[in-house]
Chain A
Amino acid sequence: SQQGEEDPQALSIQEGENATMNCSYKTSINNLQWYRQNSGRGLVHLILIRSNEREKHSGRLRVTLDTSKKSSSLLITASRAADTASYFCATGGGNKLTFGTGTQLKVEL
């Protein structure tokens, strides 16, 4: 079963624009992570935000977490064609990760 739902399911933007994708989850969490998957390949860990953090930055990535609303957002600034991929939020950690449904991002030249 999926822990998280991501919104939108698909997003198409022009290179240089910002991309925002959202994740909602159901149960209490210790942390939330974002992963990227390029076209049916392995997942790459992007960033982890703990439940006591509200915002975290890593390069062009900005993640926010609102535990009261059980939601998180991932912002990619100044997007590039190479950012085209599916993005998943994941909760849990430890023994297992529970993934959201994913957002397919397409960045066009």
Chain B
Amino acid sequence: DSGVTQTPKHLITATGQRVTLRCSPRSGDLSVYWYQQSLDQGLQFLIQYYNGEERAKGNILERFSAQQFPDLHSELNLSSLELGDSALYFCASSPQVREDTQYFGPGTRLTVL
């Protein structure tokens, strides 16, 4: 158990809908990262937050947004969902902004029908 929690575990929704994925980092970790894992794209970095501020952006679609709250938990919002958004979404955390090792949560499996 990495200490990173993610909810929900599974999410099934329809195209066009909006969902929110939640992540609680390990106790004391200030950085939160979001990744998407799909069969065709593999594991892709989406976005990083550090202590409430956005620090780095990867291949994140404009339909997706994230934020980190004062208690350091983070949410990833996915809107206007498409079939291709079906994937595993992972959150990871690390103590500081430029740590090498990241600790991953169990993931949220999103299925868009």
Inter-chain CA distance A44–B103, complex, in Å, is: 7
B14 at the interface (CB under 8 A from A): no
B84 at the interface (CB under 8 A from A): no
Inter-chain CA distance A15–B105, complex, in Å, is: 29
Instruction: Tell me the number of A-to-B contacts counted with CB atoms below 8 Å.
Output: 61
Tally of chain A residues near chain B (CB < 8 A): 23
Hey, which chain A residues are within 8 Å of B43, CB to CB?
Answer: 43, 88, 99, 102
Given A2-B42, A42-B107, A99-B43; A33-B56 close (CB under 8 Å) = no
B64 at the interface (CB under 8 A from A): no
Inter-chain CA distance A40–B99, complex, in Å, is: 25
Tally of chain B residues near chain A (CB < 8 A): 27
Inter-chain CA distance A94–B98, complex, in Å, is: 4
Partner of A31, one of B58, B100, B107: B100
Asked if A33 contacts B101 (CB within 8 A), the reply is yes
A69 at the interface (CB under 8 A from B): no
A96 at the interface (CB under 8 A from B): yes
Given A98-B45, A102-B42; A42-B105 close (CB under 8 Å) = yes
Within 8 A of B (CB), among A1-15: 1-2
Partner of A97, one of B2, B97, B102, B109: B102
A61 at the interface (CB under 8 A from B): no
Within 8 A of B (CB), among A46-72: 48
A93 at the interface (CB under 8 A from B): yes
How would residues 70 to 113 of chain B score, 1 for a CB under 8 Å from any chain A CB and 0 otherwise? 00000000000000000010101000011111111111010000
B18 at the interface (CB under 8 A from A): no
Asked if A45 contacts B56 (CB within 8 A), the reply is no
Asked if A94 contacts B97 (CB within 8 A), the reply is yes
B residues bordering A, Cβ < 8 Å?
A: 2, 4, 33, 35, 42-43, 45, 48, 55-56, 58-59, 88, 90, 92, 97-107, 109
A residues bordering B, Cβ < 8 Å?
A: 1-2, 30-31, 33, 35, 40-45, 48, 88, 93-99, 101-102
